[in-house]
Amino acid sequence: MSLILASNSSIRRSMLEQAGVDFVVRSPDYDEKPVQNAHRGDGCSLALRLAEGKALSVSADPDDWVVGSDSVVEVGGQRYSKPRDRDEAAVHLRAFSGQEMILSSAVALANGGELAWSHAEETLLSVRPLSEEYISSYLDAEWPEVGYCVGVFRMEGRGVQLFDEIRGSYFTVLGMPLLPLLAALRVNGILPS
């Protein structure tokens, strides 16, 4: 039995490694765009659909378990994707300035080509007012790494400076509800209880 992480995210890999979980990585074969474009619900339900789709997209042996995860950012009722380039990253940061960001993260487990479990949660992040000078210096230091991140920040880097307050789980902000996932892994006999 293997645990497979269906993600290209270095932070999700790091989270599982630091928790002492043995796993292998496989890239998900999942086109997010049609799901994102058709979705009419909230960010939590979208993150859940994307995480489930990623978990189900990786073919595995019947005894293997696949973890899929995704995150969605909403500010002012608008959903934001990863920026296409540095200029769009600056546009996003200007829009986030002084606003409340809702970051939804979800995780799903699949086994034998069937969805076995999924969980989503959201965290509220108060973005402090950001000056043009700060946005420029921030992107000088953090680009291109933050280009791979929804919300244009890495909490494990300088991104923590964008916020005045965070209400919710740190792991959710990193991009995967880790504690519920670890509990599900124990329940399913993947990790010892």
Q: Is 129 left (phi over 0), alpha (psi -120 to 50) or beta?
A: beta
- Partnered with residue 140 across adjacent β-strands are none
Are 92 and 146 a contacting pair, CB within 8 Å? no
Question: Which is the catalytic residue, given 22, 31, 42, 70?
Answer: 70
Reference 12, options 56, 68, 66; nearest CA is 68
Is 70 among the residues known to form the active site?
A: yes
Q: Decide the pairing of beta strands 3-6 and 65-75.
A: parallel
Cα separation, 155 vs 111, whole angstroms? 31
Cα separation, 111 vs 109, whole angstroms? 7
Active site residue ranges = 70
